[in-house]
Amino acid sequence: MQTDHSPLKEQNHVYYNRRLSLITIPTIEKLRTKNSQEKPKMVPSIRIIGSLNVDMVSVTPRFPEAGETLTSTSFSIHAGGKGANQAVACGRLSRPKPTNTTNTTTTTTTTTITPTISPAHIHVEMLGATGQLDTHFTTLLQPTLHSSGVHTSRIRQIPNAHTGVAVIIVDTSAGGENRILYSPGANYAGMQCAPDVLELSLSLTPAVPDVLVLQAEIPTETVVGILRGVNGWREARAKVEGRGVGMEADVEVVFNPAPAPEGGLPVDVYAAVDHLVMNETECEIMAPAGLVEEGAGQEKETAATSPERRDRIARHFHALGVRHVIVTLGAKGVWYSAGDAGRDVQERGQGEGDAKGGWVRFVGEVPAAKVEKVVDTTAAGDTFVGGYSVQIARWKEARRAAGRGGEQLTVEERQERYGSAMEQAVRWATRASARCVERSGAMDSIPWEDEI
């Protein structure tokens, strides 16, 4: 069953929407004035909001049994967190590998910025929180993010809190599969659903980001607040513009529900999610209870085994407002459904681009890219999300370069976006993920653009 709206959440919804309307409309007026004038090419931008952790990794020949103590074959400490991993993936997969990169597995540096951060590339910025009770941000996280092309000015340092920690056990006998124990620390203490966090998350300064990436290692209430803020921003902008805005004029939201909140999110927030990226387990957790009724003796369908099950779940999210639903299936590849969103659109029937108003929708499967040897799957999903987000930003950049930025898509352009452009983005992200699993570590295993 989908999560109900508590009175507190409803109060936050009204409060933040009202607050966002007040601060956003003047900004939109300025943007509209700027759009009417000739201006230089905009640098694509991605803002990642999420967790920053320290990964403590033990590699073992097998997982220990209950009550058993095993000696690991190796132990290492790395920068990590799903948010930080996805930020690094966006940074690295949008630029070639620099020749002066330092291996953060064996050494650390206090360099505040490197030549990797260049206005010629996609602007990637990370928003999150670390703790001041340790030095992990200054000695490990910040240098690693900077060397990967990620700006860190939106990362908050929280007094009386520890940086988040993930204890990871990697099983070499199971192809590098892992188990993770997560202690959130500052990811929760410093990322509560409060006005300062939401304003920093939704700030339109210096410009509207092309892509906003979210995961679920920060409080669910904060994720909900940010998504409701996006909805409020879009409603305010549409009101000022007097029409719906095109995809390129709006921020596109990528939500990766990892770890997936039980029962999903309140149904109203999905209208803010443009791209819902889940693995097969997260897909089942996010799906509403009772979406499919199994008969007596019928084997239960799962997103991992049944394309029909995935299709029903995707249709559910399309009806709530999500245009792109992606289910990663590990070694079996990726399944996706991309199309117009809204329950009223589905009721017209699937027209595959019918100019009379049919539902434009494409469903596809992309096989897993070839892998020489699976070493570590820890950051595979985060690498996929980052690579996919880069492709969204590149698509929007190409539209602007062609003079089509901010315009509504025609039926033919929607076919191209949901069809060939979507397949290309998924294939590229799948290749990036394949390169990742051939290496050890989490963040350290994420490849650069010229390594794909």
Q: Quick one: tokens of 7?
A: 């009175």
Annotated binding-site ranges for K(+): 376, 378, 436, 439, 441, 445
Annotated binding-site ranges for substrate: 53-55, 81-85, 217, 382
**Residue 183: strand pairing partners:** 165
| 45-49 sheet: strands from edge to edge | 150-158, 123-131, 45-49, 211-214, 252-255, 275-279, 324-328, 334-339, 361-366
First to last CA, the chain: 40
Rounded CA separation 232/247 (Å): 16
Please tell me whether the peptide bond between 206 and the residue prior to it is cis, using omega within 30 degrees of 0. Answer: yes
Residue at token pair 């390594």: 451
344, 382, 444, 450: which is the annotated catalytic residue?
382
Rounded CA separation 267/250 (Å): 21
3 state SS of 253: strand
Q: Quick one: tokens of 279?
A: 């693995």
Please name which of 55, 369, 334 lies closest in space to residue 181, comparing C-alpha atoms: 55
Rounded CA separation 219/353 (Å): 39
3 state SS of 388: helix
Are the C-beta atoms of 167 and 187 separated by less than 8 Å?
no
Rounded CA separation 156/185 (Å): 13
DSSP state, residue 360: -
Q: Quick one: tokens of 53?
A: 């952790």
User: According to DSSP H, which parts of 128-178 are helical?
Assistant: 136, 142-147
Instruction: Please report, for the chain, how many H helices and E strands are present, in that order.
Output: 13, 13
Annotated binding-site ranges for ATP: 279, 328-333, 381-382
Residue at token pair 């590229």: 428
Using left for φ > 0, alpha for ψ between -120 and 50, and beta otherwise, residue 391 falls in alpha
Rounded CA separation 368/329 (Å): 9
Q: Quick one: tokens of 256?
A: 């990766």
Annotated binding-site ranges: 53-55, 81-85, 217, 279, 328-333, 376, 378, 381-382, 436, 439, 441, 445
Are the C-beta atoms of 45 and 209 separated by less than 8 Å?
yes
- The question of whether 382 is a catalytic residue gets the answer yes
Catalytic annotation, residues: 382
